[in-house]
Amino acid sequence: MKILQVCSARQLGGGERHLADLANGLTRRGHGVFVAVIPSSPLLGELSAVPKQNIVELPMRNSLNVASAFKLARFVRRHEIEIVHAHVARDYPLAALATRRAGARLVLTRHVLFPLNRIHRLTLRRTARVIAVSQAVAEGLRAQGIFDPDKIICIHNGIDVDRFVKGREDEHGAEKKLRVGMIGHLAPIKGPDDFIRAAMVVCAGRDDVEFIIAGEDKSRDGEHRRSLEGLIDELNLTKRVRLIGWVDDVAKLLPTFDLFVSPSRSEPFGLSIIEAMAGGVPVIASMSEGAREIIDDNQTGRLVPIGDTDALARAIGELLSDRKERDRLGQNAQRVVRERFSLERMLEATEQVYRQGLETRPGGSA
């Protein structure tokens, strides 16, 4: 198949890492993969398997950028692309117009829980298939009534499991202090303040643990990081909690953690959770939408109520004091990730969606 992936993202996150894995994986499986990104996109350095001549840079500034849509349509026609796959909501109308003019089929992936807006209701009627990264996202899409429910398919994100397992084996045994970490953008919805408050409770009872927060602040003026730095200082945790910024290679960071924590207040999926599980790092997560789909409580990780810092601190303390339980949860998690969240499983399921899309008429109906 000839497939065009479209993404105007300006920063790397879980959705962008998913797209890069998808594009690289489909290329290795023999498909003709093309990618449309904005100039200087952070994805340019991630598309290692995609031929450079198959990547086009377009100024996709917003959903009403008709000039870019026409350029995209010409690119689709010139390369005889069959499937156009868009990943960011502002790109959906552009991709829809391009496929309409070029006769390709439109596939969308929805990575977040936020509802689509009026312009999407008006422009996405001809969509062939919609991939939701979790059942929670799929349910939200069905509730909006924009798409035929039969066109909405849940495919959990997949990862290269062996990459994370190898990292764990390489680093295991280099313990100093026990280390508890979280990875995510420094935004309130990710719950880093809950993580810090739980750290205060744990640190009050033991001095053999440090806490790491990895992630960048996407706010324009850095207000989120400043707020967290202020909280760390206020709670006298400057020697116990560290903000280490963006980490390019998560597979090298995760093996240094004895516990991984996801304190998100809302999470459509949770790519970092399955990356930690793949590396055998025991996970404690708040009961966000995505975490509940991934973790079997007390079998492959621990779940705690959202925003309950006391419950989070108790779970952290219990697992730090019980190496055998950490090992049990980590081993169970590794097995489940290989069964349910492998990259190959995701690629096969996505190929099947593309084949289904090609069986529809250009207007999107079967």
Q: Is residue 76 pLDDT above 90, yes or no?
A: yes
- Per-residue pLDDT of 1-60, as tens digits, reads 999 999 998 888 888 989 999 999 999 999 999 999 999 899 999 999 999 999 999 988
CA distance 248 to 39: 20
* Among the listed residues 59, 12, 6, the one whose alpha carbon sits nearest the alpha carbon of residue 33: 6
pLDDT of residue 362: 62
CB atoms within 10 A of CB 331: 13
Is pTM, for the whole model, over 0.85? Answer: yes
pLDDT at 108 over 60: yes
Ranked by mean pLDDT, which of 64-73, 199-208, 217-226, 354-363 comes out on top?
199-208
3-state helix, strand, coil in the chain (%, to 5): 50, 15, 35
Of residues 60 and 260, which shows the higher confidence score? 260
List phi, psi (to 5°) of 197.
-65, -35
Residue 62 reports pLDDT greater than 70:
no
| Chain segment 308-348, per-residue pLDDT in tens | 999 999 999 999 999 999 999 999 999 999 999 999 999 99
Tens digit of each residue's pLDDT (9 = 90 or more) over 199-249: 999 999 999 999 999 999 988 899 999 999 999 999 999 999 999 998 988
What's the pLDDT score for residue 130? 97
Mean pLDDT of all residues in 144-167: 91
∠ CA 202-207-208, rounded to 5°:
100
Measured at the CA of 79, the angle between CA 73 and CA 81, to 5 degrees, comes to 70
Determine the pLDDT at residue 65.
Answer: 73
Residue with tokens 């953690």: 257
Mean pLDDT score, 153-165: 93
DSSP character for 304?
E
- DSSP structure string for 172-236: TT--SSEEEEEES-SSGGG-HHHHHHHHHHHHHH-SSEEEEEE----STT-HHHHHHHHHHHHTT
Average pLDDT taken over every residue of the chain: 92
pLDDT computed for residue 10 by the predictor = 86
pLDDT at 171: 47
pLDDT given at position 364:
56
- For the chain, domains (ranges, CATH) are 2-158+343-358 (3.40.50.2000), 161-340 (3.40.50.2000)
Query: Which residues, 6 or more positions from 285, have their beta carbon under 8 angstroms from its beta carbon?
Result: 261, 262, 263, 264, 270, 273, 291, 294, 295, 301, 302, 303, 304
Q: Are 322 and 330 in contact (CB under 8 A)?
A: no
- Classify each residue of 108-125 as buried b or exposed e, where b means 16 or more C-beta atoms within 10 Å of its C-beta: bbbbbbeebeeebeebbe
